[in-house]
Structure 1
């Protein structure tokens, strides 16, 4: 696992040493950022179900100004800290060990707005429709913002959730799907 492009291109990232997380492959990560970027002129990101933090770190490397990382697994939080310390990104990040829905509610109370939201929960454990609705209920998506959902390729992803519209879905192999909402 590595940073694909930007300021930290080629730098290796540690992965979470447990079976409870599933890192986004470099191929999928590269494809995602080609679809939504590939480079950014500032903005804020939320990496929910962050695992090792690979998606948020990639966004930072490509020009996002700040990122909030959330995961409830202690080993994941430890790995995120190792990766952001290694890349000296400490000033640009916040890291929280908590439940995803609680994190969304807390971000809403703080009136945070994100230009990019990465949702990569354990496959088939969360309803994307419910997660997207919570993001909208708490008004977390900035105007013109993008939400990237990584999911099991067999999962049915809604085409519309309130005013969010599915703009693209790609499948990678037999088990990985990526859907992008605006």
Structure 2
């Protein structure tokens, strides 16, 4: 693996475990020589992952819309920063630079990114692995809802299976690595 997109919150959340996992992810990405591709923010879990990758000798690439950069939320010391016009361009650019996606906890933006890339995968517009790290059960209710979508006939089981669910950083990274070894 050369690079992974990480979707996560621009806030740290209320529990220290969220930041701990973001730090662990950054450390392990740097140790495995995996370049971080992310939304380019300098705050919250996004900032933690980026800062940790960089402080451990790794590389981090941000992709940020100009309007967010103008609000001064962009990270200042990344290896590389791409400026785009729209959120859609941002999401597209991020996944074209990476070999997979890992999602940590976050809010509307994180859910938007996760569900859009899952829809792209379902439609065969994207062919990489997509994983969540279910930190402290954060995604339990979402996973129950996806199972209900299958039960109610709105989501095919094979499309439900497109989402890799891990409970640890190593579990997510290993599953993504295994995905590419099987191809």
Q: Normalization by structure 2: what TM-score?
A: 0.49
More strand, by proportion = 1
Larger Rg: 2
Q: Normalization by structure 1: what TM-score?
A: 0.49
More helix, by proportion = 2
| Higher relative contact order (Cα pairs below 8 Å, separated by 6+ residues) | 2
